[in-house]
Structure 1
């Protein structure tokens, strides 16, 4: 798994499968070489990423830069810091639990009553 921890304004890290990370790299490669956008994308999405192994019990060890990005200290780990995982179509985001709740509140806070399938139906179908 690849964990992307770049981006100064982000309070979370995005986690990709190897195939997902390869797809992300192809998107970065589509940006013109030497451009400001390419430099930023390479720095925040490629350089500031880490490969992690998943052990037989499904656990991972978060590398130091990822723990630092999330604001997780050794004391917090000792006390049992909570993580939040937010799924997406091609990745999931890893948050410190309290930071996730600060941004998104409770799960039902954003329910405006509109069916999510109706939202998806407003957009053209992918080929």
Structure 2
């Protein structure tokens, strides 16, 4: 299993659209790029999605290859495959982390999400979401509405599906 991103961080965006990728995130991009070596730049894919997306998604190479394989298994010409191909292939760009640990976010992508001088990174497993700090605050409020009513002291891990039984494995 590929390494996962954990945590969040707010970073500066310079006038050229460069953002410093926190070291703990860079290590995941490096570990999940099969071609990466210490003398090469880590590769990633930026997915900017549909018109209504207010964030960017930075995928590791391993994650994007897994998604590509899943899309390849879908029925050609199906509306679902067409949608996913459009988002994951047509609304994306390949990128790399430079020798100083920075990523250049293209102007059109910064404009799409309204990114100016600060960016908010939040881990989402095998990718990172990039938001403006204000848009992420709005997203946090929306996420709070998704939280089910728990009994006091209930563990949110109870939302996970039960582990497969031995009968399911045979």
Return the TM-score normalized by structure 2: 0.59
Unaligned runs of 5+ in 2: 1-43
Structure having greater relative contact order (Cα 8 Å, sep ≥ 6): 2
Q: CA deviation at 1:118?
A: 4.0
Q: CA deviation at 1:116?
A: 4.1
Choose which of 116, 124, 127 in structure 1 pairs with 2:163: 124
Report the equivalent of 1:87: 123
User: 4+ residue runs of structure 1 moved beyond 2 angstroms?
Assistant: 112-120, 122-125
- Between the aligned partners of 1:82 and 1:123, the Cα distance in structure 2 is 40
Higher percent of residues as helix = 1
Structure 1 residues 39 and 124 mapped into 2: Cα distance closer, same or farther (>3 Å)? Answer: same
Report the equivalent of 1:34: 77
The yes-or-no answer on 1:97 pairing with 2:133 is yes
Choose which of 81, 89, 99 in structure 2 pairs with 1:46: 89
Choose which of 7, 15, 32 in structure 1 pairs with 2:58: 15
The yes-or-no answer on 1:5 pairing with 2:27 is no
Secondary structure, aligned partner of 1:34 = coil
Higher percent of residues as strand = 2
Could you report, residue by residue, the CA deviation over 1:52-110 in whole angstroms, capped at 9, with x for unpaired residues? 110122111002332132123xxx3xxxx2211111221111111110011205xx997
**1:54-73 pair list within 5 angstroms:** 54-72=97-115
* Equivalent residues, number: 117
Report if aligned partners of 1:82, 1:98 keep a CA contact under 8 Å in 2. Answer: no
Structure 1 residues 24 and 65 mapped into 2: Cα distance closer, same or farther (>3 Å)? Answer: farther
Return the TM-score normalized by structure 1: 0.76
| Higher gyration radius (CA) | 2
